[in-house]
Structure 1
Amino acid sequence: MSLVSDPVTPIEVPRGLKNVVVTETQLGDVRGGEGFYHYRQYSAIELAERKSLEDVWYLFTYGQLPDSRQLAEFRTTVAPLRRLPDEVRSVLRSIALAGATFQPLAGLRTALSLIGAARGLKPVYDLDPAQRQADALLVSAVTPTVLAALYRIRQGQEPVEPREDLSAAANWLYMVSAAVPDDRKVEAIERYLVSTVDHGFNASTFTARVVASTGADVVAAVAAAIGSFSGPLHGGAPDRALEALDAIGTPERTDAWVRAEILAGRRIMGFGHPVYQTEDPRARMLRGIAQDLGGELVDFAVQVERRVIAVLAELKPGRELPVNVEFYAGVVMELCGLPRSMFTPTFAASRVIGWCANILEQAADRKIIRPIARYAGPPAPQPVR
């Protein structure tokens, strides 16, 4: 516990602001004790099972689910926004090829900043709600295009132009692979994308809102959120969870591997969550999707999950560390043909919709987020010698 004080009343604040309420939101909530989360008034899992990504995108932007006419108009509106401005195309290759290893989120931050400049995005403080929404739709629509293009250039391939006749989920798989995906893969990825649009006041969402509270433009807030999201404790775990399966190799090696990791003080990626005290509902849904797709990888993952939970219960008694979304997210994305370097970008391709919705909500408040900290250094003032 750290002590944070204002001129009036000292307040005890937990590390990491855990469970501290910082604002009100109409966008959704996570009820960790119940293993439940929702988007506005709807169960997020039920939306993932029954609605398209565009339906949910509309819900986050306008506050209601669209009817068939509104959905058709929305798709017509956002499809052209997927295309990259010419000013960005000319430098995209330099962004993609920078550095010894592929850093898609770093490239995304750079490209989005250029897009914001090319499109003349203005501070949200100076815009009316309609223009803020238009900017948010642009950033959400173009983000998957940027990520897919960066990946293909890095692989020595030409970027694939987005298709306006494909859904957002189908278009994502198409732009990465250059092949129109089959319906089963589209459905699997779409359910994953819908389930990851938003998830309470996580680190990246809070970061986006802090920047939006300053009145900065939408791209500035999203770029800041991406920086937060790139940390391995936040958005960077789906590929790491699958790497754990690689390291284990066979089911009978699971117990020994988990024990060695725990004794070395390392986390078991794909297990435990800072919010859920029970099974992550996203993991439950994705396990079902993976089992529907089937295959040896799925059977292996299910066996490993059971043994990891058993060993964790033995080594960490009293702590609930069930499987979380990253474990089966990696399995589903692998089965759908996405390369591991694109697992976290796939997460970002949906989460940007949630970030933008939070940016719009925060922009309407017009109050800067300005907390304080407790100074813990040497007493001041001291003489300067």
Structure 2
Amino acid sequence: MAEELRFPTGLGTSDADSISLLGQDLAADLMGKVGFGELAFWLVAGRRPSPGEVRLFEAVLVALADHGFTPTAIAARLTYLSAPDSLQGALAAGLLGGGSRFLGVTEDCGRYLADVLASASGDDFDAIALEAVRTTKAAGRFVPGLGHPVHKVQDPRTPVLIRIAQEEGFYGPHLRLFEAIGRVHEKVLNRKLPLNGAGVCGAALADLGLPVDLLRGFALLARAAGLLGQIAEEKRRPIANQIYLTVDRNAVYEP
């Protein structure tokens, strides 16, 4: 007799009369009682976050939701222009652009900080940061989370997220190291760069104990809301066709 197939899950299930999620009755225990940010944290971490964790986590989501006409937003709008019958295609097009230059910095920075901390000793964060920046420069790489194409002096999100983390008691080693990098990198790079918001989001999420290899997913979760807003605005005040025609009419063929 063949062994019975089993596909275990601790997330959700349903029967004819009820839906269970995370061991709770979805309709009776969660709907109207748990916010979406809290639920997203709970789904990934496998534990219900505290109010302070929810506040910091949702601040991160808000910080990453939308940044105007970024490549991801333009991709979503142009895809919607091409296929207005495929809202999911437009959203997916925008999300697929989340990489090392846009959105992906959140995970890149969190992973970088975690790797540095894993090999560091002591609690002199300035010394640890200085050595990390020197090593990174010697390897011909950039320090994730340093610099911003628009905010040349200070990213306005950075001090707010750090303050919220401190207020809620989640100002941990990743944020401490990230701030230390902000203090010492000029000695190595010979120029002053701001700590960008995507980087501080990665540091904050890592200090919340979330897996660093999933941090890009939280950035995409936040940006999905922003992209939906971009598509909604495209419906109200379309600009995608203008973008397309501007590029097309100024294209220069060079054989």
Amino acid at match of 1:204: T
1:198 corresponds to which residue? 66
Q: Verify the 8 A CA contact 1:258 1:308 in the aligned structure 2.
A: no
Separation in 2, partners of 1:223, 1:324: 25
User: What does 1:89-100 correspond to in 2, within 5 Å?
Assistant: none
Amino acid at match of 1:321: L
User: What does 1:1-385 correspond to in 2, within 5 Å?
Assistant: 157-160=9-12, 161=21, 163-165=30-32, 166-216=34-84, 217-229=86-98, 231-248=99-116, 249-250=120-121, 251=125, 252-294=127-169, 298=172, 301-312=175-186, 315-317=189-191, 320-364=192-236, 365=238, 368=241, 369-370=243-244, 371-372=247-248, 373-376=251-254, 378=255
Q: Does the residue aligned with 2:78 lie in a helix, a strand or coil?
A: helix
Q: Does the residue aligned with 2:97 lie in a helix, a strand or coil?
A: helix
Q: TM-score, normalised by structure 2?
A: 0.75
The structure-2 alpha-carbon separation of the partners of 1:214 and 1:285, relative to structure 1 and needing over 3 Å to count, comes to: same
1:129 corresponds to which residue? none
Q: Verify the 8 A CA contact 1:290 1:331 in the aligned structure 2.
A: no
Instruction: Please identify runs of 4+ aligned residues in structure 1 that moved more than 6 A.
Output: none
Separation in 2, partners of 1:269, 1:288: 21
Q: Verify the 8 A CA contact 1:282 1:325 in the aligned structure 2.
A: yes
The structure-2 alpha-carbon separation of the partners of 1:253 and 1:174, relative to structure 1 and needing over 3 Å to count, comes to: closer
Amino acid at match of 1:281: P
Separation in 1, partners of 2:9, 2:209: 17
Q: How far does residue 221 in structure 1 lie from its aligned partner after superposition?
A: 0.4
Separation in 2, partners of 1:213, 1:363: 9
Separation in 2, partners of 1:228, 1:159: 29
The structure-2 alpha-carbon separation of the partners of 1:183 and 1:300, relative to structure 1 and needing over 3 Å to count, comes to: closer
Separation in 2, partners of 1:282, 1:309: 17
Q: Verify the 8 A CA contact 1:272 1:321 in the aligned structure 2.
A: yes
The structure-2 alpha-carbon separation of the partners of 1:338 and 1:245, relative to structure 1 and needing over 3 Å to count, comes to: closer
Q: How far does residue 225 in structure 1 lie from its aligned partner after superposition?
A: 0.5
Amino acid at match of 2:156: P
1:78 corresponds to which residue? none
Q: Verify the 8 A CA contact 1:255 1:308 in the aligned structure 2.
A: no
Q: How far does residue 220 in structure 1 lie from its aligned partner after superposition?
A: 0.8
Amino acid at match of 1:358: Q
Amino acid at match of 2:36: A
Q: Does the residue aligned with 1:338 lie in a helix, a strand or coil?
A: coil
Q: How far does residue 294 in structure 1 lie from its aligned partner after superposition?
A: 3.6
Separation in 2, partners of 1:159, 1:299: 30
Q: How far does residue 293 in structure 1 lie from its aligned partner after superposition?
A: 3.8
Separation in 2, partners of 1:202, 1:256: 34
Q: How far does residue 224 in structure 1 lie from its aligned partner after superposition?
A: 0.4
Separation in 1, partners of 2:178, 2:57: 23
Q: How far does residue 331 in structure 1 lie from its aligned partner after superposition?
A: 2.7
- Which 5+ residue runs of structure 2 have no aligned equivalent? 1-6, 13-20
- Which 5+ residue runs of structure 1 have no aligned equivalent? 1-152, 379-385
The structure-2 alpha-carbon separation of the partners of 1:194 and 1:303, relative to structure 1 and needing over 3 Å to count, comes to: closer
The structure-2 alpha-carbon separation of the partners of 1:200 and 1:187, relative to structure 1 and needing over 3 Å to count, comes to: same
Identity %: 24
Separation in 2, partners of 1:366, 1:327: 31
Q: Does the residue aligned with 1:232 lie in a helix, a strand or coil?
A: coil
Q: TM-score, normalised by structure 1?
A: 0.51
